[in-house]
A and B are shown apart, each in its own frame.
Chain A
Amino acid sequence: MAAAALCWALRAARQVLPSSCPRQVRSYHVDWRMLRDVKRRKMAYEYADERLRINAIRKNSILPKELQEAADKEIAALPRDSCPVRIRNRCVLTSRPRGVKRRWRLSRIVFRHFADHAQMSGVQRAMW
């Protein structure tokens, strides 16, 4: 009975929270470059549909060229950070831009560190 009441209260809480005033969210990113990368990813997600549609107008041979030129101008007018090309797959733990394995999202140094301490499941030193 008490558990059910608690569950109901927590569920209601999740609904209430979005409507309340914007809370201060404290998150930790390794450095500012990582933070900027996070912002770029968010923006790219927001503008993804629009970019797809405008590019569909641009990249076809059926529509008249004038229309395509107008679309070119439109897509150039979108904010710079909304394009997915600007996203860099950084290391999640150290924010290293280079030497990052996509499967683990870790830089080579961190990966080696964890693998040697046997904290990577299924990863073994190669020997053949």
Chain B
Amino acid sequence: TSSVLSKDRDKSAASKDSTPEGAAKRQEDAAETPKQQLLDIIGSMKVEVSYRKKLQQLKASENKKQAQDKLEGPDSEGSVPRGITEDTQGGRPLNPELVKAASAVASSLPRNKKQTESELLAQLRRHEETTDQQRKGGTVNLRNVISEMTVKRRSPAQWAARKSGRISLQLDEDGQRMRPERSSAQSMDSRSLKVGKRLNIFTKASTEPEHALKTESSPTIWDLEFAKEVAAVTAQPPRNGFEEMIQWTKEGILWEFPIDNEVGMEDDAEFHEHIFLEKHLEGFPKEGPIRHFMELVICGLSKNPYLSVKQKVDHIEWFQKYFEEKKELLQEI
């Protein structure tokens, strides 16, 4: 078999096929250690198979070349030999059935048939390459494979990240909005930094719209009772101090940390709405004791930090109503 292998090496010098090289290595190993005769046999068997296929294809290519020189046949005939020549150019013999299937698919598609066929065959070749590498135990460069592929496919981690990022408001540590980056900066592993629900330990929790939307108007009494029952049954006594504190926080006995001084106070008004209340005095007469009285009231209200803007406005409006009711009495004076 050594003479045959040497011929093979001469013929496939240009090709980057790994099996004859591997076979050559195996042959050298077998020559070195006589204990590996079984492996040698297996290796030689493999070599024979590939060599046979290669001879066939070489013969076929020679025949086709002769045919091309003699005749320039129609496209259907030309596409098949071209496909085979492309196979041999690749260096790794592809399954002829696959090649035929690729050509059939390409012919069925409306676009440029030759281009699609070449692309499909290139993909097949790449599949074979990856399987070979996996057999050898070499590292699979997934990134290269994915970048080379024309069909755009994103890894499941990225897809999950995109899905979660679409709904939730992604806030950076500064609190500014940040688009979910899908560039190569993000790691391709299943775990990445910006994927997943934020814990909101350091930033204030943003109001996330709930994923589950129930179309029921209101739950029935039975549902409520059932919910209470389940809660009572599943509620285990706290195993340690932490769980006890968690329970207290839920009940409202313990405050939430870090302590928010404005819990319960939801005053969205600015300071100028608290202090400059003269605009509410439009319903009153411009002169007279009532105006004097109301200005004093407003002065007092502007210094009051405990009332909300709504409460202050209600205060002034009550006085307005009261004085309107007493108009007749006032006019007598």
Chain A residues near B (Cβ < 8 Å): 2, 4-6, 8-10, 12-13, 16, 49-50, 53, 56-57, 60, 62-64, 66-67, 70
Contact = CB atoms under 8 A, between A and B. Distances in A.
Contacts of A63: 289-290, 293
Contacts of B223: 9
Contacts of A9: 219, 223-224, 227
Contacts of A12: 218-219, 224
Contacts of A57: 293, 322
Nearest to B319: A53
Given A12-B219, A62-B289, A67 B329 contact: yes
Nearest to A12: B219
A53 B231 contact: no
B326 interface: yes
B296 interface: yes
Majority SS at the chain B contact face:
helix
Given A6-B230, A9-B223, A62-B289, A16 B322 contact: no
Contacts of A16: 218-219, 224
B218 A66 contact: no
B330 interface: yes
Nearest to B224: A13
Majority SS at the chain A contact face:
helix
B127 interface: no
B11 interface: no
Nearest to B291: A62
A66 B333 contact: yes
Contact of A53 (B322, B326, B332): B322
A49 B307 CA distance: 12
Interface residues of B, number: 26
B283 to A, nearest CB: 16
28 contacts: A2-B230, A4-B212, A5-B212, A5-B227, A6-B231, A8-B210, A9-B219, A12-B218, A12-B224, A13-B219, A13-B227, A16-B219, A49-B315, A53-B315, A53-B318, A53-B319, A57-B293, A60-B293, A60-B296, A63-B289, A63-B290, A64-B289, A64-B330, A64-B333, A66-B329, A66-B332, A67-B326, A70-B329
A6 B212 CA distance: 13
A66 B315 CA distance: 22
Counting from the closest, the 10 A-B pairs by CB-CB distance are: A9-B227, A13-B224, A62-B289, A62-B293, A6-B227, A62-B292, A64-B333, A63-B289, A16-B218, A6-B231
Contacts of A49: 315, 318
Contacts of B227: 5-6, 9-10, 13
B297 interface: yes
Contacts of B318: 49-50, 53
Between A60, A66, A67, the greatest number of chain B beta carbons within 10 A of the residue's beta carbon is seen for A67
A5 B212 CA distance: 9
Contacts of B231: 6, 10
A66 B323 CA distance: 13
Interface in B138-156: none
Interface string B215-231: 00011000110011011
A56 B296 CA distance: 11
Given A12-B219, A13-B219, A70 B326 contact: yes
